[in-house]
Amino acid sequence: MDKNMTLEKRIAAELYSYQGKMSVFVDDLHGHTVEIGADEEFETASTIKAFILAVLYLQVSRGRADLEEEITYEASQFVDGSGMLRALGVGAKLKVKDTATMMIICSDNIATNMIIDYLRLDTINACIRELGFGHTVLHNPLHFDRYDKLGTTTPRDYAALFAQVAKGTLVSKEASAAMLGIDNILCLTGDHTKLGDHPQAKPVFDLDSVSLLHTASLLETGKDLGGNDLVGEPPKFAKGAVVSPCSDSVDAQLVKMERKVAAGAEYFQTQAVFEPEKFIKFMEKAKQFGKPVQVGIIIPKSAGMAKFMNNNVAGIHVPDEMIEELKADKEKTKAGITGVEIAARIIKECKPYCQGVHIMALGWESKVPELLKQAEI
């Protein structure tokens, strides 16, 4: 293709051979745009969720919505498709902010219906118009069995939404940053490549977990690793790190924990714990750092899985008696009953000594509600 062709002509050339309807709006945020059919209306599908998020923050700014308020997943909000809330079951309570996060990060359809009900459909559309997106409409909640139409928008409206977020002008500078922002980060070195899908790959560890914490702290000052100024408002993170309380060397883990705290760690998640007594002893020593710790919990699926973790995952040891418990009734174990009982027992023993629980469901998200019930959380 001719290098002297403008971007608009190059895009137009690509579209010429496309069998279907396509429009383009490109904004480089420096005053240059490319517009091809930019005011054509399209079905939004899940992209309408970004507009709903904007309305939520507009209402928060007016005191008409509260990100910390709890809302309940009701049966009328159920819809199939993407997301994780369906695994929690009707009656689950979430903060508005967490529900909105699920709506965006997981494209959770049930979470979207919860936010739509919270804000009300007519309010959402009125606020969308008020924000200046005159060709964007949310027609219905997400119920694919009832409605053929979800929402409509144009490339111009959609690009304008993200341009305003990037410039910090959507609702307010603070709201734009909150919509873009990643609040919580977990800094860890990661496993060696030989434990992954491509064991022959060359390992690259330019930064370890402590260096990552230092990097995040540097970004918060408005500088990158090269000392260059960041564009816009510097980020503010809740910086987390990991620790292995059931490791063979507790003293070594405490030294690592101290280094991570010094580098800026504000909370810790542990490797999966299967030996509560070791965790409790570790926490007695770790409380000197004054940082919240979330105990890591894995629902063991089988004796084979337990043995694999013992042989291949650093910092994890599943006791022999627990492996025998998984072997005792194969049907019960296969159904997840034994694994949930074990995990619930561990949580109940550990929770007086920690500030939270990190459940790694590993495909068994449907078991989480029963686990929480048995663990009395």
Crossing angle (nearest 10°) for helices 48-61 and 121-130: 90
Higher local confidence (pLDDT), 374 or 36: 374
Does any domain span residue 28? no
Q: Indicate whether 292 and 238 sit together in one domain.
A: yes
Q: Supply the pLDDT for residue 1.
A: 47
Q: Which of 159, 180, 201 delimits the end of a domain?
A: 180
Does any domain span residue 50? yes
| Spatial CA neighbour of 77 closest among 103, 98, 97 | 103
- Which 3 state secondary structure label does DSSP give 299? coil
Report the distance separating Cα 317 and Cα 158, nearest Å: 50
Residue 17's pLDDT band, with cuts at 50, 70 and 90, is: confident
Q: Show the tokens assigned to 244.
A: 């292995």
Q: Indicate whether 126 and 151 sit together in one domain.
A: yes
Does any domain span residue 37? no
Q: Indicate whether 78 and 106 sit together in one domain.
A: yes
How many percent of the chain have pLDDT more than 90? 62
pTM over 0.75: no
Q: Indicate whether 96 and 141 sit together in one domain.
A: yes
Does any domain span residue 27? no
Q: Supply the pLDDT for residue 304.
A: 95
Overall average pLDDT of the 363-370 stretch: 88
| Spatial CA neighbour of 135 closest among 55, 39, 6 | 39
Does any domain span residue 222? yes
Q: Supply the pLDDT for residue 321.
A: 95
Q: Indicate whether 196 and 175 sit together in one domain.
A: no
**pLDDT, tens digit, for every residue of 207-219?**
889 999 999 999 8
Q: Which of 129, 149, 180 delimits the end of a domain?
A: 180
Q: Indicate whether 157 and 203 sit together in one domain.
A: no
Centroid of chain to Cα 114: 18
Q: Indicate whether 209 and 270 sit together in one domain.
A: yes
| Spatial CA neighbour of 257 closest among 244, 274, 246, 247 | 244
Mean pLDDT of the chain: 89
Q: Which of 180, 211, 243 delimits the end of a domain?
A: 180
Distance, first Cα to last Cα, the chain: 61
Higher local confidence (pLDDT), 275 or 27: 275
DSSP for 72-106, please give it: E--GGG---SS-SGGGT-TT-EEEHHHHHHHHHHS
Q: Indicate whether 118 and 260 sit together in one domain.
A: no
Does any domain span residue 18? no
Count of the separate structural domains present in the chain: 2
Overall average pLDDT of the 51-77 stretch: 94
- Which CA distances in Å does 87 have to 81, 130, 249? 12, 36, 38
Q: Indicate whether 359 and 255 sit together in one domain.
A: yes
What CATH number does residue 54 fall under?
Answer: 3.40.710.10
Overall average pLDDT of the 267-296 stretch: 95
Contact criterion met (CB below 8 Å) for 260 and 209: yes
Segments forming the whole domain that contains residue 81? 42-180
Q: Supply the pLDDT for residue 231.
A: 67
Does any domain span residue 9? no
Please, is 137 exposed, middle or buried when counting C-beta atoms within 10 Å of its C-beta (0-12, 13-18, 19+)? buried
**pLDDT, tens digit, for every residue of 99-126?**
999 999 888 999 999 999 999 999 999 9
Q: Is the pLDDT of residue 191 over 80?
A: no
Q: Indicate whether 163 and 188 sit together in one domain.
A: no
* 111: β partners: none
Higher local confidence (pLDDT), 177 or 324: 324
Q: Indicate whether 191 and 307 sit together in one domain.
A: yes
Q: Indicate whether 152 and 193 sit together in one domain.
A: no
Does any domain span residue 7? no
**pLDDT, tens digit, for every residue of 232-263?**
667 788 999 999 999 888 899 999 999 999 99
Please, is 89 exposed, middle or buried when counting C-beta atoms within 10 Å of its C-beta (0-12, 13-18, 19+)? middle
